[in-house]
């Protein structure tokens, strides 16, 4: 695998949290001065935040609780990694389809804010762009097609 690069970020340690309809992921990585990304830790959990959203148009309280608990655990991992001599420059948290479609996503955003996590509920076009960028970053200059079936 080739080395991924980031543009527009200063060198440092970053945490990225991706909250989808079914999964919740975190990547902690160091970005060097050339923009190369060096993975430090990767976390993954099935939280099923989108349970019932299609039927009710709302995030279920139990689904919110599961996901908030998981993100709280991720924050503990992130903080332990910061204590190892590399402070976290920034934590970026995004939520996708289920949060975007739910009438009560503001409650979910508020609950994560209580943990100190600022959540951005991103539009579909941005989700698609980030998915493509992530899947294609190790293949510069190549023609690719990426399919993201989502939750």
Asked, for residue 1, whether it belongs to a domain, the answer is no
| Res 36: pLDDT | 86
What SS3 state is found at 31?
strand
> By residue range, what is the domain housing residue 48?
12-136
150, part of any domain: no
Quote the strand ranges of the chain, DSSP E.
12-19, 23-31, 37-46, 88-95, 119-121
- Can you tell me the distance from the alpha carbon of 45 to that of 64, in angstroms, rounded to the nearest whole number? 14
pLDDT tens digits for 114-125? 999 999 998 888
Record the tokens describing residue 17, joined without a space: 């949290």
Q: Which are the contacts of 46, defined by CB distance < 8 A and separation ≥ 6? A: 22, 23, 24
Q: Domain containing 36 — which CATH number?
A: 3.30.420.40
The secondary structure of 17-28 as a DSSP string is EEE-SSEEEEEE
The per-residue pLDDT for 86 is 84
Which residues on neighbouring strands pair with residue 37, listed in sequence order?
31
Question: Residue 147 to residues 17, 46, 135, 140: CA-CA distances in angstroms?
Answer: 21, 20, 9, 18
Residues 67 and 24 sit within 8 Å (Cβ to Cβ): yes
pLDDT value of position 10: 84
Instruction: Answer whether 0.85 is exceeded by the pTM.
Output: yes
Q: Is 143 domain-assigned?
A: no
112 contacts 95 by C-beta, under 8 angstroms:
no
Is 151 within a domain? no
Residue 3 lies in a domain: no
pLDDT, residue 128, reads 84
Question: What total number of domains does the chain contain?
Answer: 1
Paired residues of 126 in beta bridges:
none
Pairing mode of beta strands 119-121, 37-46 = unpaired
Where the chain has pLDDT below 70, the residues are 1-9, 150-151
């Amino acid at each position: 695998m080739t080395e991924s690069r980031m543009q527009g970020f200063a060198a440092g340690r970053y945490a990225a949290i991706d909250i989808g309809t079914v999964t919740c992921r975190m990547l902690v990585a160091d970005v060097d001065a050339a923009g190369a990304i060096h993975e430090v830790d990767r976390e993954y959990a099935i939280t099923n935040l989108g349970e019932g959203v299609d039927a009710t148009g709302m995030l279920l309280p139990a689904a919110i609780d599961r996901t908030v608990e998981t993100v709280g655990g991720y924050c503990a991992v992130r903080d332990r990694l910061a204590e190892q001599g590399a402070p976290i420059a920034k934590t970026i948290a995004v939520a996708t389809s289920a949060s975007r479609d739910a009438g009560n996503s503001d409650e979910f955003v508020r609950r994560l804010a209580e943990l100190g996590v600022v959540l951005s509920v991103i539009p579909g076009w941005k989700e698609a762009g980030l998915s493509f960028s992530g899947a294609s970053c190790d293949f510069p200059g190549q023609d690719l097609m990426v399919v993201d079936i989502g939750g």
